[in-house]
Structure 1
Amino acid sequence: MPPKVKITKEMIIDAAFEIARSEGAENINARTVSKKLGCSTQPVMYHFKTIEQLKKTVYVKADEYHSEYIANIQSENPMKDIGLNYIRFAETEKNLFRFLFQTNEFIGKNISELINSEELQPIIAILSKEVEANTE
């Protein structure tokens, strides 16, 4: 008898991320994730005690994906590229954009916490470098 496939926490996060991308984060639940992985709901609930916990983990992954997406600079004008990439992200990744920017994830966070978030640091570095270049 072949060994059972072990469902890892990363596999669950990746499956839930793909559900958020294709169907919207509101469709992340134990059944949809387990169906995508071809397993029972038990591994999902073993790694994540609540679906809210899974959604928060997927939110972090989506935020990192978004930061990488908009930091893809292709020209001599990084600020313009970041702005255009933000718009492209909203157009091509509608469900992730809605999850990141049209949910209640920012409730209770002040602007300092948002600016100092680890996920935003690569963008802040690009913008800081651009501002320094323009003030010299």
Structure 2
Amino acid sequence: MTIARDIMHAGATCVGIDQTAAEAARMMADLDVGSLPICGNDDKLKGMVTDRDLVLKVMAAGKNPAECSVSELSNGQLVYAKADDTVDTVISTLTAHQIRRLPIIDEGTLVGMIAISDLARHLDDRRLGELVEAVSQN
């Protein structure tokens, strides 16, 4: 049985909870990613920030990215999977929350990320199509 640990990208670069939206945007550009996990000073996962958050909650809202903390951008709902969760559990979580990327934790510590592109290498075309359709409802 395939589990999250088998398909995740090990390791993930966090943006610190006190860092700014501008710093998060630079990190995303440097890493060529569309989202970053937000971690506290205790290195525990506190949330996620996406490129969409930066556009809608900072730029479109007229906020100064250099003064807006990433902690202001997280929606407060922490969504993740455990490293030993099955792929079915990962898919259910992505679908239920209509998200495309999922942080993976092990014993409370962030150990990796799973994106739909990671699942694409492990799912048949039908199941992948269903997942993409389910997370693209809004």
**TM-score per shorter chain, which class?**
under 0.3
- The structure with more strand, counted as a fraction of residues: 2
- The structure with more helix, counted as a fraction of residues: 1
Give the TM-score taking structure 1 as reference length.
0.25
Give the TM-score taking structure 2 as reference length.
0.25
